[in-house]
Every structure is written in structure tokens, then in C-alpha cells.
Amino acid sequence: MSEESASRHAGDDGTGAAGTGAAAGGGPGVRRLADWDADDLLDLRRQYGSPVYALDLDRVRENYRRLDAAFPDAAVHYAAKANALGHVFEVLDDEGAGVECASAGEVVRALDAGVPSDRVHYTAVNPPAVDLDTVVELWTDGVAADVTVTVGAEDTVARLATRGFDGRLCVRVNPGVGAGHHEKVRTGANAKFGVPRDRALDVAETATQAGMDVVGVHAHAGSGIHDADDLDAHREMVARVGDVAREFDAVHDLEFVDVGGGLGVPYREDEPALDLDAVADATRDALGDVDAHLVVEPGRYLVADAGVLLTDVNTVKETPDTTVVGVDAGMTTLARPAIYGSYHALRNVSADAVGDGHREDGASAGGDGRGVVRATVTGPICESSDVFAEDRPLARPVRGDVLAVGNAGAYGYEMASTYNSRPRPATVVLADGAASLARRRETLSDITTLEL
């Protein structure tokens, strides 16, 4: 990407993003799909093919700095499940962030990226034996000597003990209150996650008797917390985990209280940026006085608006009810719309690149004179759920156009699959005005190589 191109990509203020809700040191508080330069996106498509994920590492850094400024007395641990690309780990490690891992695989990838083990938390949710074996082996070998294992069941303590683990342990508490953008991600009130509050001290005692060092308590309300109702639930969750921490104070010398993450981003064009300062103030007030430092675990907030998905239009079909626009990405590429009914902004960047820009609501204006249609954008998967958007205003597409899907940096590639034997896309990273291939496009031979 040229210096001129990088300047366009950065936006008028040169921060690498544009939008409203700016905070000191961290860039604007929201980045819309309309803020990405259409010519730059088309350049990426021409160079790297379609479909392709593009991730702006400078924006990831901005998002971290904004969050760090709002929580100056807290440790920020990135929730790796949002996007476990090694480049993301490296940027956040450079900023001093820790990493919260939901699997042994994420632990290994964080360590491989250079994140020190004293900043790695492994949150074991009903962990498979191979996960525990892997993490304990890394701990035994000294590769992850200072890793913290978070348990949500007394069984997990026993399983760790049988493997000889006597390291750092955190107890995950079920707060009994959940929040988030969809019922499938509201973990706080789901019995799957965490120890009942009235059993937390007993589980900690069992761990202590097994020689483990109980260093923290943890709870998490859910994912995609954004509106007032979600914030109220988050506040209640934090208050409850604060009460648990104070109960622990009499018995255990806690280092930290981890209140999870789940901070949301505005997926719709008319949604405001998250009031991060309000969330931070509510978190501190709800937690109250505890003799331990605060840990927060954002995932989506750091990477969502740093990424876009580019996909080619291959079919345009007029029907009595809508214009069906077929693209070469599908639910195997970006699963969130199919799983959660999630909204992602869409833009015809081919129309914008040759026209005079885009509308304030984020939909393409059809600047080249082709006009706007109500479109249903679908993928190539043989499922009726393989739909990115229905009846969405879009600059009238023609075969060969390139569409961009916004807020694709979180839970995009991480949830991709090879269903229908479709290889997963490539990933490009942007940093300091330059683009580079971070992950090559999968091939059919990659998919079949495991077959015997």
C-alpha cells in the first residue's frame, strides 16, 4: 500500500480510523465500514483474491490504548477466541496486554507469539484431557511456568491434581446473571460456566489442599455488552464477584479479580460507540473495595472494527421480492449471521471506488450512477441460513463487483469451517501503511491431507 493510499486508508485525522467518540491516545471510539477507503480495499482484493479477510493492526493498537486509558488500574487480557492470529498477539503483547485463552491451542499460540506465561490465563471450561495434558506439560517443562489456570468445576481441580499441577489457580464463579447480544453468548447465568457462588470457597480450599496457589476469582456476564440493560447486568455481575472476592480475602491472598470482558461494538451504522468511560466507572463502583487488582478480558472490542471481509459478486438474480446477490463468501467464511442472526454492515466498494462516495448511513450510494436496490446477499452454501443480509440497500451490483462486510475482525476466521469442502480464505494484515499476507488461502488439498 503506497503512502498516498495509506493516508486515504487512515482517514482525515491520520489515526488509522474515523468515527465518533474519540478518546485520548486511542483514536476514535468507533470505526464504520464507510470509513475504509474503497480504492484501498479493491487493491487488496486484486492482490490477494477473494474472499479475503483484512485486519488493520494499527486499529487493534488504537483500540487497546483506548481501553487501557479507561481502565488505568486494571490489567487488560485479550480474549483470544475473538481472533487468534499470531500478529494480533504480537501487537497486544507489545502494548503490554495479557491473553485469556479458552483452549490449550490458544495457550500454545499465545506462547509461540512471545506472550510471557505470567500474562497468560487458561480458562478451562469442561476441558478435554488433551487440553489439560498439554497445559500441564508446558507448565512442567517451564515453558508456561507462570500460567494461571482458571477452573469452573471442582472436577477440574481434581484432574489437575492427578497430573501433578500445583501452580497458579483462579476460581471461576457463576454469578447468576448474564448479558450479551444473543442468548447463546450470555454465559453468566448458564450453569455450564463457573462454580456456584456458595461453593466457590470450598473449591478454592480443595485446590489449596492439593498444593495449588489460589490467586484469583473470575466471572463473566456474556458477549457483546452494549446497551443500558446489558450494562446493568454487567454491573450486577461485577458486584456479585466483588462480594465473592471479599469472602476470599479472609482465607486467600488474592492477586486479582477478573470480571471478564464482553464489551460490545456497534454493528449497525446508526448505533453509537460504546461509552467506555461509563463502563469503566460502573465496573469500579460495582466491584467496591477489594484487596486485589482488577483484570478485564476484552476480545471483540479490540479487533472487530479492525477487520473487513472482501467477497466477489458472482450472481445477480432479479426476483419479484428482492434482488438476490450471490457472493463467493458464505456461512463457512463468516458464520455469525447464520448462527446468531447477526447484522454486519455491507458496502459495494466497486461502486464507491468509481463514484463519489457513500451515504451517511453506511449503505453504498451508487456514486457511478447505477442506483440503489434492496438486496438479499447470499453465499454458495446449500443452506437457507447462508444469508448475510436480507432486503438491504446496496449500490446496484453487477457480476464482478466486490462487497465489503464490516466488523469482521472478531469471530470471523475463528469460526470459519470447511463445510461443503470449501477452503477457508486468506488473511491480510495492514500495519504502518503496508499490507502483507498473514495467512495463505486454504486449498482443497489442505482439507483432504488428513484423510487416510
Catalytic residue among 129, 191, 250, 382: 382
Phi-psi region of 341 (alpha: psi -120 to 50; beta: other; left: phi over 0): left
The residues, any chain, with a CB within 8 Å of residue 105's CB and separated by 6 or more, are: 84
Q: How many residues does the chain have?
A: 452
- 229: how many CB neighbours lie within 10 A of its CB? 10
Q: Is the dihedral of CA 225, 34, 40, 323 positive or negative?
A: positive
The alpha carbons of the chain give a radius of gyration, in whole angstroms, of 23
State the alpha helices, DSSP H only, in 298-340: 300-303, 336-340
CB 238 within 8 A of CB 283: yes
State the alpha helices, DSSP H only, in 102-153: 104-112, 129-140
CB 260 within 8 A of CB 296: yes
Of 351, 340, 433, give the one whose Cα is nearest residue 14. 433
Is 101 in the active site? Answer: no
3-state DSSP percent of the chain in helix, strand and coil, to 5: 35, 25, 40
218 alpha carbon, distance to own chain's centre: 19
Active site residues: 382
